[in-house]
Structure 1
């Protein structure tokens, strides 16, 4: 997936950082708040760490209590004309707010680079999650570790997005096929 030696090193560094207590705090309290702003301002080309490590989208939900629009930046895995989101919350023992917002109102918007989508999120059943889990972990290995560390079953959501695989290639979210 990553052909540049520096980028591979950088990805490995952040994956290891995310597994430490200080790293989890930094990522969930600092970068998670700043990333959507930087992502929006740069048209999806950068985030607060400077390099986008995984394909990401900016997900906007409606707050279940406040009714206000809430935007978070999330890694996604694209296949079968869908973007899959994992409610990992960096391996914390509680679910992320965006997940509760989707469960209250599945209508969301997503931004991938400069492309905007209005979508309806679908929560996968345990059986559906079992079918796709290995593929999700193959692309974002920390998902498996987050599930183990959190002590909870991570919920998975699907955003139906016909052509998402082509969007990832066109926007540079992943290397072009050789």
Structure 2
């Protein structure tokens, strides 16, 4: 098999081999833009991380996927904020694109995916004897609203480690 310099079986098929890389340079960036007003707001973000083998100049295995984020919220009441978020992971630039184990070729993630979430945060007004609740907030939300499976860019497409489906949360918080 071309490109494989590791051990092979008696039949000549390569064994999956994991090696430590002596020196890896990690570079990337994250950029975000946010707007906040009394009634509404939102943000845009983008992040990229690259890991490169300094000896070969090639990307190291188990790539990160570039990510774009969009969030928006609206305040219909001074005590209530409704929001939504969209996270998009771009198709990762894999090196290598596959691994072979027991003669079977497995592809690392080759597709992008998007997840959407919604949330509401209520901060009750307090007066008089309820001053102990002045910084209380109740949050409710749904992550992965459309219940789409997803796989981390480091895994192969046939992995059983598929990301969580839709989840719903409710939280009560206070600051003091």
Query: TM-score, normalization: structure 1?
Result: 0.24
Structure with greater helix percent: 1
Structure with greater strand percent: 2
Pick the structure with greater CA Rg: 2
Query: TM-score, normalization: structure 2?
Result: 0.24
Tell me: higher relative CO, structure 1 or 2? Use CA pairs within 8 A at least 6 residues apart: 1
